[in-house]
Each structure stands twice: as structure tokens, then as C-alpha cells.
Amino acid sequence: MKIEQHHKISIWYFVIGVWIVLLLQDYLASVHRVQTIPYSQFVQALKNDQIAEVSITTNQIQGLLKPESDSDKETYFRTVRVDPETSELLDKYNVKYSATIESTLLRDILSWTIPVLLFVGIWFFLIKRLTAQQPGFMTLGKNKAKVHKQDDIGISFDDVAGVDEAVAELLDIIDFLKNPEKYLEYGGSLPKGLLLVGPPGTGKTLLAKAVAGESHVPFFSISGSEFVELFVGMGAARVRDLFDQANANAPCIIFIDELDALGKARGFSGISGHDEREQTLNQLLVEMDGFDPNIGVILMAATNRPEVLDPALLRPGRFDRQVLVDRPDKQGRMAILNVHLKKVKKLGIIDIEELASMTPGMVGSDLANLVNEATLLAVRARKSTVEKEQFEEAIERITAGLEKKNRLINPNERKIVAYHELGHALVALSIPGSDPVKKITIVPRGIAALGYTMQVPTEDRFLMTKTELLGKIAILLGGRAAEEMIFNDISTGAHNDLAKATDIARSMVKEYGMSENTGQVYYKGEPQGMFLGPDLSRNSRGEYSDDTARLIDGEVRNIIDQQYEIALTLLAAKRAVLEKAAMELLQKEKIDGSFLEELLEKEENLSKQK
């Protein structure tokens, strides 16, 4: 790879240059040192026949004195011209002289060229610094889109997996770009805009590149935030320039990533008038109305916040079609894992279906990171191949954090953590329909986790019943219940469990209508963002009275208390198993869920024999 070297222009170069010029002038002057003498001394030297020759200008006389001996150096002199009868004296004493007009051209040129050069040098230096800090300083009105040719992209639908529905939606886009005449023959036209909507990491940008790669057309890629500038009007100018270039390179694809940075609904900013972002959005709307889709320019965009987009963007004639790129299901995760596992050169025997079952909720970027983490772990452990053990460790790293074996925990705290985690596991094994327990560990991970219980769902779930939600709350409270039952005291270790359990209970009451006292009413207030997660865009207080708020709080409290009592009852019935499993966990630090299941089975057999 060829590395270009960029030489920086520094102001010190010009300072050094000026000093060199001054030193050179001083040196030249020292070589031919000129002595300034009074005019009277000049007249006296003239009368004494000591002057060899002179040069007369308008204001002064310069000349050369005769050396007194052959070994003496020549002496130059200058004096001010005073007497207009100097020529008569020179003639009287037979002195050779000449009169010249002093030229000031060089001096005049240097007097204005040196300051100009110095100013230009400083200007270039400042511009260089500004462009280094902001690369687009000199191209404010030009778009910053990166243009990719087919050879540069190198991505096709073979590199995309787990989003088959979205791929099917995009196939007619590719067919139009390849065979536009087929659609024009029927009088049909392609949708002007195509919006990819979905959670972060699901492969929206990858899909857009795959469309460009399959259709063999130029691909203009730019982020929505790159349109917004400090200088008013620059964003709109970039939009115009982007569409001009796209029309010149048609057929092509324009892809705007993170469209919500540019297309947020007008009026959200709370600032009256047309700010820079709104002007840019207005220009985008105008350009989308103006260009002809039949020439083959297709506008694609991606966002994970469609609810904040301006309605004018989503009307027919602009972004006509919205394609959902959702989280992959189990089959989709298997397909994505197959794509990424092909890149692993030393891969052992891996059950992809089991691995996909262990990664519910993960998107494409998460699965790519999982495969890479497992590969790095295999290299670190000096394994000959990447095995199942490394993938399980990678999953634990991603979900629970880095294992911290050096964190010192006193024996009493280790015992509390062991019973706490086994409380979760035993309640989970005792409640029908809960996710199977995969592993229990008391090795600290992440920032605050002193241990954790890993449950692996057997299938993807899209609906949950009231009984299942109550079971989840009981499992979360199992750790606190085990602490109270064994130690007659409780610790701060249940902080995260209580937060999750309260969230589930509050959602049951406010969102799902699963409380008899509050009824089938939605109390949530404003709906949260589609892909923003559980805590964003949330209105903490809906439109209901204080009495209803107290009723909701009471129902949440009742749900928590009831499930806590259930957890205590289940653990009390299995205290012997809890004690045996705790001794094993304290000794080995990690036990499998199958070991706990065997202990429960043995205990049940013993109770039946009695």
C-alpha cells in the first residue's frame, strides 16, 4: 500500500527565510564596507588628490579613495551632495567622475513583495490548520458522500442472511435497475424512496450495499448528520450537489444512513423560524419531488427511529416503501452464524442450532462479534480449533461482561452470592414453562455482577401470558428469598433483580391490563419509540388521577409481594438441595444446570421412598 506523505506548512519557514535574507544583506554589506564621511572631508581629500573615482547621484556622492600603498585595501566612501560646483573642482584637479540616476526599482519591489509573501504564507498556514481540523472547510457547499463502484463494494445478497423478507422486497429494485425498459413498457415507475427501518445492528446499511452490489451501479453513501453544518445554507447546498452528481451518474443509488439526524419532524427543536436543519430537510423534500425515478436514481435511507421522522418524508411520492429489518428469529440467527462461521479457518464441530438457541435477541452485529470473540478466545487459549467452549465463554462475555478472577471476595460474601444465584436457579427449575437453567457461577463479571444464573430459552417467544410473567418475577426474587431463608438477613445483591421485577409488574398493570383492580385500561401515557428500548421516550406519568396512581402502585406492590412468598415457599421445600448445591458451587465456582436437575431428581426419589 502506497502511503502519501503530506508536508505541513509552518510559519516558522517564513520567519527563518526573512532572517536569512537579512543576514545575507549584512554579509554583502560587510564585504564592501562603505565609510560615510563629511562633505568637508571629501573636499579636502579631493584637494589632496586622494580620490580615485566617484559616482554622483541626486542626493549623494559615492567614490573610491586611492590606496596609500599597494598593500592597503580599497576604501569606499559616501557623502551628501551639497555643493553644485563639485564638477568644477573635479575638473580642476583632474579627477575622473560620473553622474548617475539612482534606481529604486529593486527596493520598491522588495518593499511590497516581501510583506505580500509573508501575508500569503501566514494565510496558507492558517488554512492548512483549519482544513486539518475540519477537512470540509474549503468544500462547505459540496456533498460528503462516498462514491463506491461495484468493484469497491464487493457485497451481494450472499453476504446477507436472516432478513429474507427484506431481501424479497428489494429484489424488484434490483430488477428495475438492471432492466428498466421492462417496467417502462407497462408505464410503471419505481418507488422514489425506500426506507429501511429496524433496530440498530440488524444490517440495514449492509442491505443497501448489497442492493448496489447486485445491481452493478454506483453507490452514494452519506450519513444524515453530515448534511447539517454550522454555516446556514451549507446543508441545503450539499443536498443539491448530491442530487446533481447522482443525476450525472444515473442509474445509481443514494443511501442516507441515520436519516433521523436530518429528517426529524419540523417544530421539535422549539426554535422559531427556519434553522439550518429545517432548511436542509426542506431542500431534500424539494429534490425528491423534482427528480425523475425513471432515469434510475433511487434514494434509500435507514433509521431506527421512524416515529420522529417528518410526515412529509413518509408520504407517497417520497419514501413510498418502508422495509422492516427486524431482529432475526432462530432460523435467521442460524443463517447469520453460517455466514460468519465460514470466515473462521480453524473451526471445530459446532452445533449451530444450539448456538442460535443460546443467542435470543441478538442481531447480526452481535452475532458477528460473538464469532470474533470466540476466535480470539481460542487463540488466547492456544486451541487447535474454535470449539463450543469458546462460543459459550464468548456469550457470557457479551451478556454478563468480562470475567474478573482477580477480584477478591471474602468467604462470607461468596457464600451469600452462592445461595443467591442458586435461589434463582431452583425457583426457575420449580416453575413450569420457565427457561432451562444452563449454568450457575459465582465468578464476578462485568462492573457489578458478583455471579449470575444463565438461562437459555428453547425457542423464540413473541407473546407471554400472565402466568409466565408472574413466573419471571418469582425467579428474579428467588435470590433475595434464598438470602432471607438461609441467613435471616438480606443484602444489596438483589438491586438489579428488584428493578427488573418491578418493571415487569408495572408493565403488567399499566400496559397489559393484567390487574383485576385496575381493569383493562392502558395507563402508560405516550407510547415509547418503536426501536428505542425500554427506558427511552417514556412518559413517567400518564393521564390519570392521583387515586389511580395510588391504585397502580398498590397493585405493583401486591404482585411483587405475592411472587416473593411463592419463591420462599418453593425454596423452603427444596432447602436440602439448596444446601448441597451451595457446597458444590462454593468449591467449584461453576456448576451446570444438569447437576442441579440431578440433585432435585435424587431428592424427589428419596422423598417418595419415605
**What are the binding residues for ATP?**
198-205
In sequence order, what are the residues at sequence separation of 6 or more whose Cβ sits closer than 8 angstroms to the Cβ of residue 576? Answer: 603
Q: In 70-104, which residue ranges form alpha helices assigned H by DSSP? A: 86-92
**Other C-beta atoms lying within 10 Å of the C-beta of residue 433:** 9
What one-character DSSP code corresponds to residue 73? P
What is the DSSP annotation of 539-550?
-SS-S--HHHHH
What one-character DSSP code corresponds to residue 8? P
7 to 3, 122, 128, 453: CA distances (angstroms): 13, 16, 10, 58
In sequence order, what are the residues at sequence separation of 6 or more whose Cβ sits closer than 8 angstroms to the Cβ of residue 258? Answer: 223, 224, 225, 302, 303
C-alpha cell belonging to residue 581? 448445591
Q: How far apart are CA 196 and CA 191, in angstroms?
A: 13
Q: How far apart are CA 563 and CA 558, in angstroms?
A: 9
In sequence order, what are the residues at sequence separation of 6 or more whose Cβ sits closer than 8 angstroms to the Cβ of residue 551? Answer: 517, 518
Q: How far apart are CA 276 and CA 262, in angstroms?
A: 10
Q: How far apart are CA 147 and CA 398, in angstroms?
A: 35
Q: Is the peptide bond before 191 cis (omega within 30 degrees of 0)?
A: no
C-alpha cell belonging to residue 10? 509552518
Residues tagged in the binding site annotation for Zn(2+):
420, 424, 497
Q: Is the distance from CB of 245 to CB of 143 less than 8 angstroms?
A: yes
**Other C-beta atoms lying within 10 Å of the C-beta of residue 20:** 10
Q: How far apart are CA 176 and CA 158, in angstroms?
A: 20
Q: Is the distance from CB of 318 to CB of 341 less than 8 angstroms?
A: no
Q: Is 258 helix (H, G, I), strand (E, B) or coil?
A: coil
User: How do strand 590-592 and strand 60-65 relate by DSSP bridges?
Assistant: unpaired
Give me the catalytic one of 421, 511, 565, 604.
Answer: 421
In sequence order, what are the residues at sequence separation of 6 or more whose Cβ sits closer than 8 angstroms to the Cβ of residue 358? Answer: 392, 395, 438, 456
Phi-psi region of 229 (alpha: psi -120 to 50; beta: other; left: phi over 0): beta
276 flagged as catalytic: no
Q: In 344-436, which residue ranges form alpha helices assigned H by DSSP? A: 352-357, 364-380, 388-400, 411-430
Active site residues: 421
